[in-house]
A and B are shown apart, each in its own frame.
Chain A
Amino acid sequence: MTYAVRCASVRFGDTLALDNVSLQVEPGAVLAVVGGDGAGKTTLLRALVGQAQLATGEVDAPPAEAIGYMPATAGSWSSLSVAQNMDFVGGIYGLSGNALTSRRDELLDRASLGSSIDQLASALSGGMRRKLGFSLAMLHDPPLLVLDEPSTGIDPVSRIDLWRMVSEAAAAGAAVVMSTTYLDEAERAAHLLVLDGGRTLASGTLADVLDSFDGAISTTARPRRRAWAWRRGREYHEYWPTTAGVPIDAAAVTPDLEDVVVTLSMLKRHESELAS
């Protein structure tokens, strides 16, 4: 079963939050929706789970019983304990008794939350709280798992834990759609969808996205054109429309995902002046 959003456009008043965007994900795959703030990632995910009204387009998604959703916020009830959160959500999905207890314990063990079962969600660290949110989304073993920036704002170790849990969910057969602002994370996904300003910049496997890059990137301490350069560590990376355009004294580098995404975003922002 393939889940998809096709040619979706979403308006909020005069603002076009999504402009003809599509995504498709199959069981056992992770699709990472990548983009900066205001790219349309959350709106696209909300469209997939039926929480954003489409101006145009269509959504192929399973019924609510088959969706696990983790919002960009905490994703758990702060005044309830870890166990009470799990029991509440389990109750909504019709889980009870031993089935609920064993599933709850299994997920909390995987999330390293077993020892915090009686702690209030509000007392958990940011990373632990996100892992609890993920466990709540996974509680009913949904075929479609939708995660809105699950790793934003948490420490690197918790990010690794979360990614392990996401990979395990996909390996168990779930179709996973997750948004992220971290490109290193996105590189681990089987498929990428790069958004900017509500529009698709690129999509496909990591190789597809890298292959779609047209031009050259140089590394330099002193960029010649500030508008087309960005910092990478101690150096600058600079975009050139052709390989021949790279200055002799600048070193050309093989573009990675960050170079491609930054360049595509720059090209989109400069498209009007480039057209003229």
Chain B
Amino acid sequence: MRAMIVKEFRELRRDRRTLALLIAMPLLLLVIFGYAANFHVDSVQAAVVGPQATQVAARLPSFFDVTVTQPSEGQTNAEQLLQDRTVNVAIVTGRAPVLALVDGSNLFAAQSIVSVLNKEGNTVSTRILYNPELKTSWVMVPAIIGIILTFIGTIVTSIGLVRERETGTLEQLAVMPIKPSAVILGKISPYFLVAAFDMTIITGLGMLLFGVPFNGNAFVFMLGAALFLFVVLGLGVFISTVSHTAGQAIQTAVMFLLPQILLSGMIFPLDSMAAGVRWIGYLLPLTYFTMISQGVMLRGASLASLWLPFLVLTVMAAVVFFGATLRFRRDLAPRRRHSTVAVEPATVSSVHQAGNGA
């Protein structure tokens, strides 16, 4: 048994990826659950509109961080601010009782807002938009679409590419007259289509089974999904370039997948996380896809109002996808790096002349 234990430790010492997983994962989970696992919302962004906007804004509890005060605007503008997710709650004054419009697509913030407003009694009438019954499934389904796309894009794609490397057929492809770009696009196109098919099925089932609405433009949704797919497929290609076996690819993909699930805001609200951890969330592509999917499906948000997540995903897609494919091309086409150096004739080793056939 002693020999077995020693052997196991020796193997583990050389398996740096597993070692990293064993050390980094507990630290990551500690940080996440210590600083990010918080459903309590301390403060929400609020808008106050209508003739008494200034006075009402001054009287609101500190829970409401009033970022917009518009005495000359009315309910229409308040709803627009919510649809664009400029604020989480918009209070319309000039009527009795005042009307509080709450963005139900931001579930935890909405629950906290409703709880605080209920203490105000009859002076406030509350109306929840986009998710009137504050159903968890309504906010989870758009986020789960992102998780499924991430799963296919990173884990499945990287395994598919690594399998070519493991079986030696990647080497064979490299010698064939096929451009590296054609190999990469040929490999990822089926995953792209399967992911798109899965996305359609999940969206349809989400609407059918859970009654999740689709209030926005399908084209905007598909554009966001396509951009997000390029990012996660790029991650899959990148993972394949740093993995030699399917097991290594899965290990690495899990290290990319887990933070996305925990820190993208789909489970724990980003606003409730400690600042340091929240910024990790802002570096993750799923954070932005969730903003788009929830925005389009629940709030009917327009492309213009979702410009920020679209911009970030576009930059991420360009950087990650092209960076990863360049790395993959380098593995496929080393001949382009060949150096041809003239050598002295005296150093030439014996070269025989070929003669007749075998």
Contacts and interface: CB of A to CB of B under 8 A. Distances in A.
A210 interface: no
A47 to B, nearest CB: 9
Contacts of A70: 172
B338 interface: yes
A64 B178 CA distance: 9
B115 interface: no
B167 interface: yes
Contacts of B340: 54, 57-59
B338 A20 contact: no
Contact of A190 (B168, B175, B338, B357): B357
B341 interface: yes
Given A54-B339, A56-B343, A73-B168, A64 B351 contact: no
A78 B167 contact: yes
Contact of B354 (A6, A24, A58): A24
Given A51-B175, A57-B341, A170-B358, A4 B351 contact: yes
Interface residues of B, number: 30
Given A29-B354, A53-B337, A76 B174 contact: no
Contacts of A193: 352
Interface string B41-72: 00000000000000000000000000000000
Given A22-B351, A50-B338, A54-B338, A166 B175 contact: no
B276 interface: no
Q: Chain A contact residues (Cβ within 8 angstroms of B): what range?
A: 35 or more
Contacts of A51: 171, 174-175, 334-335
Contact of B343 (A30, A53, A57): A57
B352 A191 contact: yes
Interface string B140-179: 0000000000000000000000000001110110111110
B349 A208 contact: no
Interface of A: 2, 4, 6-7, 20-26, 28-31, 46, 49-59, 63-65, 67, 69-78, 89, 92-93, 136, 166-167, 170-171, 175-176, 188-191, 193, 200, 202-205, 208
Interface of B: 167-169, 171-172, 174-178, 334-335, 337-341, 343, 347-358
12 contacts: A7-B349, A50-B175, A50-B338, A51-B335, A56-B341, A58-B341, A64-B176, A70-B172, A71-B169, A89-B176, A170-B358, A208-B352
